[in-house]
């Protein structure tokens, strides 16, 4: 609180201005707050106007306080790509989005995954439930046509899709095949870029785009192999998209969780060793759950995070800070 004084008749009136002062969508810097407060404080008031001054001041102060919504994503529409089952990181995110009030569109890859995903979509009361295999021409485009027809807008989208052929993933990067590398890059990275391009025209009022990465994009993680360079490309794409979409109010983030037991992670060789290492080395001495990842991602989807973009956000108990 900043305490200032102004003259009221012969007396001295003391009053305070709360630190987080905002005007409309702009936040005033400390210097601007001090300048504004000083100008108000320097005004001279008669004894008769003292009461009116205090009343106006209280109204001014209360109008600057931050108001938190009970459901900060209420009225917002979001797309979730990549739920495989109830253990998926994408499902943890979808749960959090829904808990914060969002309406959801959910996709499944094929008839086999539909068996696992459809009950989850019903549980989340998803308004749109469609098949989407990003390798199939026209699938992703059809999803966005449905979003445009049913909602006419989109506020956020989560891309939680990654794949590399097993023989390439389990071998050395140097030994990866051209076909395997291109497949991993297309599904894990370029499909996110395609999703962003399709989402852009539906985000007329701004929005947020998310994808999932891993620490192996930044540092060498044993057995992560081919996916390391692929995720590094993905994180770079996030930064460039954030730059390109920023003027339209569209934020872009890569969410980088610690290792979590998911269907996708099961394809990584020696994954149990990664889990043990993460739990022992992370400062919080604990593994991350899909709920932790979901809540962090959902918070970034709210308007409270509208000036945060282009980040790789680690949700790993601090594992990434340990040398």
Catalytic-residue membership of 215: no
Catalytic-residue membership of 319: no
Q: What is the pLDDT of residue 204?
A: 97
Q: Which domains does the chain have, with CATH numbers?
A: 2-63 (no CATH), 77-321 (3.40.50.720)
Regarding pTM above 0.75, the answer is: yes
Tens of pLDDT along 237-283? 999 999 999 999 999 999 999 877 655 555 565 566 666 666 778 88
What is the average pLDDT value for the chain, to the nearest integer?
A: 84
| Cα 131 off chain centre by | 24
Catalytic residue among 91, 108, 215, 224: 224
Q: Please give the full DSSP string across 153-211, using - where no structure is assigned.
A: --SEEEE------HHHHSS-GGG--HHHHHHHHIIIIIHHHHHHHHHGGG-TT-EEEEE
- Rounded to a whole number, what is the largest CA-CA distance in the chain? 86
Tens of pLDDT along 103-162? 999 999 999 999 999 999 999 999 999 999 999 999 999 999 999 999 999 999 999 999
Catalytic residue among 91, 108, 214, 319: 214
């Amino acid at each position: 609180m900043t305490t200032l004084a102004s003259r009221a008749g012969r007396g001295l009136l003391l009053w305070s201005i709360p630190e987080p002062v905002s005007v409309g969508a702009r936040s005033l810097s400390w210097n601007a707050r001090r300048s504004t407060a000083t100008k108000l404080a320097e005004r001279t008031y008669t004894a008769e106007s003292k009461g009116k001054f205090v009343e106006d001041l209280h109204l001014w102060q209360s109008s600057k306080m931050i108001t938190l919504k009970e459901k900060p994503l209420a009225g917002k529409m979001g797309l979730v790509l990549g739920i495989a089952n109830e253990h998926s990181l994408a499902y943890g995110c979808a749960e959090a989005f829904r808990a914060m009030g969002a309406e959801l569109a959910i996709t499944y890859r094929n008839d086999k995954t539909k068996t696992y995903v459809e009950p989850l979509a019903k549980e989340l009361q998803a308004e749109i439930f469609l098949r989407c295999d990003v390798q199939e021409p026209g699938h992703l485009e059809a999803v966005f046509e449905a979003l445009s027809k049913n909602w006419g807008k989109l506020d956020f989208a989560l891309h939680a899709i990654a794949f590399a052929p097993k023989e390439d993933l389990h071998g050395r990067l140097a030994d990866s095949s051209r076909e395997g590398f291109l497949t991993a890059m297309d599904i894990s990275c370029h499909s996110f870029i395609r999703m962003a391009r399709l989402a852009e025209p539906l985000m007329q009022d701004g929005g947020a785009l998310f994808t999932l990465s891993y620490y192996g994009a930044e540092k060498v993680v044993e057995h992560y192999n081919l996916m390391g360079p692929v995720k590094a490309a993905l994180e770079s794409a996030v930064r460039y998209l954030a730059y390109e979409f920023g003027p339209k109010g569209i934020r872009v983030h890569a969410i980088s969780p610690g290792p979590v037991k998911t269907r996708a992670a099961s394809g990584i060789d020696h994954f149990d060793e990664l889990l043990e290492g993460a739990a022992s080395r992370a400062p919080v001495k604990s593994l991350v759950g899909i709920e932790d990842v979901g809540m962090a991602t959902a918070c970034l989807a709210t308007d409270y995070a509208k000036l945060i973009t282009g980040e790789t956000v680690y949700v790993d108990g601090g594992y990434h800070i340990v040398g």
